[in-house]
Amino acid sequence: MGARTILIMRHAEKPDDTHDPDLTDAGRDRAGHLASYLPATFGKPDFLFASSLSRRSRRPIETLEPLAAQCGLAIDDSYADQDYGALAHDLRKDATYDDALVVVCWHHGNIPNMMHALKAADGSYPDPWDRDVFDLILRIDLHHDGAPEVTEVTEPF
C-alpha cells in the first residue's frame, strides 16, 4: 500500500429547520472559502467523496461543489451516510488512492465511526463530534505500514 492523505470534515452550516436539506448562507460561504483554502493548505485533491444525497440532506455534496468546480473534479457520492465502513475500507485498501490526497465530507454523527473504521487511535479524534462544530478538518496520513496518523486542523474562517 502506498502512502495517502485523507481529509475528513463535516458538511458546512445547516439550518435549524430539520426538513431543509440545504446549507445556510453561512454554510455556502464556508464552502466557498474551502474551495481555495484546501488546495492552498494541503494541495490539489485527487478525489472528493461526499455522503450520498438523501431526502434529509444534500449538505455534504453542497459543501464540496465549489471545491469540485475549482479543481475540475467530480464528487463521488455513491456511498450512503451509513456506508462509512465501506468507504473507509476502500480508502485504506484500494491502490487507486496510493499517493493521493482524498477529501471526504460527511455527516458529523458518523465521522467518529468512519475514523474508527480507518483504524485511527481512540482519542485522536472527537467522539462524539460536537454538533456545533463545522470548522474542523481531520487529516489522516496513512503510511506504507498502514498506521494512521491523525492531525486536527481548524479552518481559519
* pTM for this predicted structure: 0.96
The total number of structural domains in the chain stands at: 1
Beta carbons of 65 and 38 less than 8 angstroms apart:
no
**CA distances in angstroms from 154 to 17, 113, 137, 157, listed in the order given:** 26, 20, 6, 9
In this prediction, residue 1 carries a pLDDT of 59
Domain that holds residue 64: 4-154
The pLDDT tens digits for 68-117 are: 999 999 999 999 999 999 999 999 999 999 999 999 999 999 999 999 99
Residue linked to cell 485498501: 93
Grid coordinates of 1: 500500500
Flag whether pLDDT at 53 surpasses 80: yes
Flag whether pLDDT at 147 surpasses 80: no
- Kindly report the CATH number assigned to the domain that includes residue 16: 3.40.50.1240
